[in-house]
Amino acid sequence: MAQAPPLDFADAPQHIHPNLKRWWPRFPLAQEIWVLPFAADAEEGMILETAAGLAGRAALHGDWRTLIYEHVDNEGYQRAFNAYCQAHSPRLLSLTLDEMVDRLHRARIVRGYLLYRYETSPRALNTLGTLEQSAKLDESANVATSLAASQSGLVVSERLAQRLERLGLKCLRDVREVTEAACWQQESRHFSRQVLGTCDPKARHVRSLMIALDAFVCSGRGDVYHQALARCQPDAPILGWGCGAEDAQTIPSSRFGLFQTATNWCHNLPVFAGESVSTPIPTSQLRTPTACRWADLDWGDGYHYATFVMSDGDNVQWVMGNFFSGSEGRYYYGDPQRGHIPLGWGIPGPSLLQLAPRTLQEIFTRATPNDDFIFYNGGGYFYPDLYGKEPGHTEALAVHAQRLRGSMEQAGVRTLAFNFQQWDSPAALAACATIATHLPELAGILAFQYDSYSAGNGAIRWVPGHAGEEIPVASCRLCIWAQTGRERETTPAGVAAWLNTMPVLGEAATSENFSWVIAHAWSRFREAEVGAPLLAEESGVPQDRDTPGSTRGYTPVLWAVQRLAPHVKVITPQEWLLRIRLRLRPQATLTSWSRETEMRLHHYPNLTKSHSLLAKAKTLLPQTGNSVIARQCFEQLKEAYLQLPPHR
């Protein structure tokens, strides 16, 4: 089979939304799907993943319309696959691994195999381990994966090579002694500049998409990682997750203008990435049902306003898997108590819209009125204050913001949360301004710092937005985070105690009247009696495993809310940001809302009362630095707006 060059994603079929730009190509819908059992053996999994990748690549570049699906014992994956099959009616054929290999070989999708050495060291996944283990990290699996597309070869370990020989496949290349650096030096011209793969050589997940997209695959460390980052186009995504410290991977990728997707445990993406809005998922089901309108607010004196946000929503593999189903879903979106309190859920919306729209559909269709949604880290993990700082990559942030606009408009999400190296540095605020000016519907940015999340202590900075608006960049004040030893990153009881001391909103509004709290998704707690020491919920609770009585995720947030005094009012993040804009920047905010009201009233000349109220409100705008007049202006605008027919 002739080898096509790496796919230009711009040539992929485009979304019907005029502003939605693609980070990922849309795969053709499958006419036939070969369904294989779950590969519990990692070396067999390598073969399955690379076969699925070669089949997906053939579909992207030609007339091949058979894709490969691995059965996954996760209800979310099963529901998504069942919905796909019901919508598109592909022929389903159950095959063994050997039967699949034989069919691909006969179809000339596979020419042979690439021989690698599977690492059997005790090194933990996605770590470098000890110095000795790091020195012995075997990169040959990543080299084989990098070459699989150009060679049309399966990635096969020493243990399974004879099995493939018996099926008639020959070794195309022995890469057991080839390093990632040598592979890059010799073959870099064959790799896509629009995506990069990082993988632990011992892990097999998501290699299918890496191969289908002609990605170079490395372990995310050393000079070769930096060279691969430097070659990629601005704002390219990184598939998978590499080896070593988190910031050792994310700081270089941010500086070169690439974002991490944390897809390292994903399955079957070439299948799921064939769907999109209206094909056949209704547009309304890929849009949040819980948006807050400014006209639904009151003036709000007498309360301290708090909002809670679940962490780690930039993690695609988690949101596709254990976020609402699987072994851990009961702690998060699958918690049966969900909906009892307002909560912000971070989601990687842009990637889900293009890679796994069925997952996003399920999240939105199961939402309660108290579930609010945030594009966490802009839909991928990067630090805005570092994004594209390397020479030649400076346009990355503007490109990301332009692409982000379409995803936010489609999903109806108006809130962003970002992780910064230094949340209020000049570089961070300049980055926020770049983002805000590209997003007309942006309500605000929730800011937290890599170390530590609560470094800003609730301070708020302001940046210019679209059409002269002022957009808040609000720092995290508190975290529900176990065993940190830090005063403001503590237990549910500790967070509640802190919030109960905060001042209420009155005529003189300040940032001290507003707090947002991150709930660390992985921290475990055990319920404590009212009146127990504030650290009792974390005392003696192992953080590396579930133990009787321990829990994490949603329930600890519920405990915190139940301990709040009556003057602390918990609201959704979007409402929280709108209230901040109204009370801390009334003139700019009311000017923006009056323009919106005037534009809508233009179509309804017979609503004379609304026109009169708007006119009165506009006369008050110059004096809205005075809180009494600002309140009058707001109430007149609100009354005028609420007489309008529902906005479609």
Q: Residue 209 sits in which domain range?
A: 9-272
Residue 647 confidence (pLDDT): 73
Please report which confidence band the pLDDT of residue 468 belongs to, taking 50, 70 and 90 as the band edges. Answer: confident
Q: Tell me which amino acid residue 123 is.
A: R
281 within a domain of the structure (yes/no): no
Asked whether 317 and 262 are in contact (CB, 8 A), the reply is yes
Buried b (16+ CB within 10 A) or exposed e, 59-76: bbbeebebbbbbbbebeb
Q: Are residues 635 and 595 in the same domain?
A: yes
**Bond into 452 cis (ω within 30):** yes
Rounded mean pLDDT, 628-635: 98
pLDDT of residue 151 exceeding 60: yes
Q: Are residues 338 and 215 in the same domain?
A: no
Residue 54 confidence (pLDDT): 99
280 within a domain of the structure (yes/no): no
528 within a domain of the structure (yes/no): yes
Please report which confidence band the pLDDT of residue 290 belongs to, taking 50, 70 and 90 as the band edges. Answer: confident
CA distances from 87 to 25, 52, 275, 430 (A): 20, 21, 10, 45
166-203 residue pLDDT tens: 999 999 999 999 999 999 999 999 999 999 999 999 99
Residue 278 confidence (pLDDT): 73
* Whole-angstrom distance, CA of residue 301 vs CA of residue 292: 19
Residue 5 confidence (pLDDT): 64
82 within a domain of the structure (yes/no): yes
Question: Torsion over CA of 412, 415, 419 and 425, rounded to 10 degrees?
Answer: 130
Question: How crowded is the C-beta side of 562, counted as CA atoms within 13 Å?
Answer: 12
Q: Are residues 600 and 539 in the same domain?
A: no
Buried b (16+ CB within 10 A) or exposed e, 611-646: bebbeebbebbeebeebebbbbbbebbbbbbeeeee
539-578 residue pLDDT tens: 999 999 999 999 999 999 999 999 999 999 999 999 999 9
* Whole-angstrom distance, CA of residue 566 vs CA of residue 64: 62
Between 434 and 4, whose confidence is greater? 434
User: How many degrees, rounded to 5, is the angle at CA 616 between CA 610 and CA 620?
Assistant: 140
451 within a domain of the structure (yes/no): yes
Rounded mean pLDDT, 330-348: 98
Q: Are residues 595 and 468 in the same domain?
A: no
Q: Global pTM?
A: 0.96
Please report which confidence band the pLDDT of residue 125 belongs to, taking 50, 70 and 90 as the band edges. Answer: very high
Q: Pick the last residue of a domain from 565, 583, 601.
A: 583
DSSP β-bridge partners for residue 173 = 114
pLDDT of residue 264 exceeding 90: yes
Cα-to-chain-centroid distance, residue 28:
24
Question: Torsion over CA of 130, 132, 134 and 138, rounded to 10 degrees?
Answer: -140
Between 22 and 71, whose confidence is greater? 71
295 within a domain of the structure (yes/no): no
Q: Are residues 595 and 541 in the same domain?
A: no
Residue 8 confidence (pLDDT): 63
Q: Which of 212, 236, 36, 242 shows the shortest CA–CA distance to 126?
A: 242
pLDDT of residue 2 exceeding 70: no
438 within a domain of the structure (yes/no): yes
- The two three-digit tokens of residue 461, written as one number: 């900075």
**CATH number assigned to the domain comprising residue 411:** 3.20.20.490
211-252 residue pLDDT tens: 999 999 999 999 999 999 999 999 999 999 999 999 999 999
Q: What percent of the chain has pLDDT over 70?
A: 97
> Total structural domains in the chain?
3
Q: Are residues 574 and 591 in the same domain?
A: no
278 within a domain of the structure (yes/no): no
